[in-house]
Amino acid sequence: MTGEHLLLGVTGSIAAYRTPDLAASLRREDFEIKTVLTRAAEQFVTKTSIVSMSRGQVYNSKDALTYVWHPTHIELADWADIALIAPATAATIGKLACGIAGGLLCETFLALRPEVKKYLAPAMNGHMLNQLSVQRNLNQLSDDGYTIIQPRTGELACGYEGQGKIASVKEIVTTLVINTMD
């Protein structure tokens, strides 16, 4: 693998604090990275920290129509070879499963070409993760071609113990690297 274009989406989960480390690890694997932060993600991580660690461009909702002649979401979707949302919240998972283009991140992911490899690394409270609706949405996205990088079991930010903790940076990077060798 050399220089593949990786679109990294970051949603509003406390697990977003791991994104700078994830971005640095992906960069070290020779991915060229562009990142899209949701408005909620910016409560947990800054554009500056992602730019510093990924050495790539970072976009947020303010960048949605940078070019009137070529909307940002189409430009980003056309650029990507691989697309990852880490962390992926229940809200974003639900929007994507239903085809709802709310915000730059969902708009971009819905505009991805069919050959783009798509990944989700969910992170949420275990009760949320186990809701039938969330499981149905994950199954739908899996059927639609997304690879789900399963969350781990452990202490969650809400204080509960259980499944819902985002996969480790190493697990996420390994999954992407192995799947790009195909």
Consecutive H or E run containing 96: helix 90-98
DSSP codes, 133-176: HHHHHHHHHHHTTEEE-PPEEEE-TTS-EEEEEPPPHHHHHHHH
Q: Is 98 a catalytic residue?
A: no
Consecutive H or E run containing 92: helix 90-98
**Cα-based angle 117, 53, 64 (whole degrees, multiple of 5):** 60
Q: 29-56 burial, b for 16+ CB within 10 Å, e for fewer?
A: eebbbbbbbbebbbebbebeebbebbeb
Taking alpha carbons only, the member of 40, 5, 173, 9 closest to residue 106 is 9
Q: Which of 65, 74, 158, 178 is catalytic?
A: 158
| Residues identified as active-site | 158
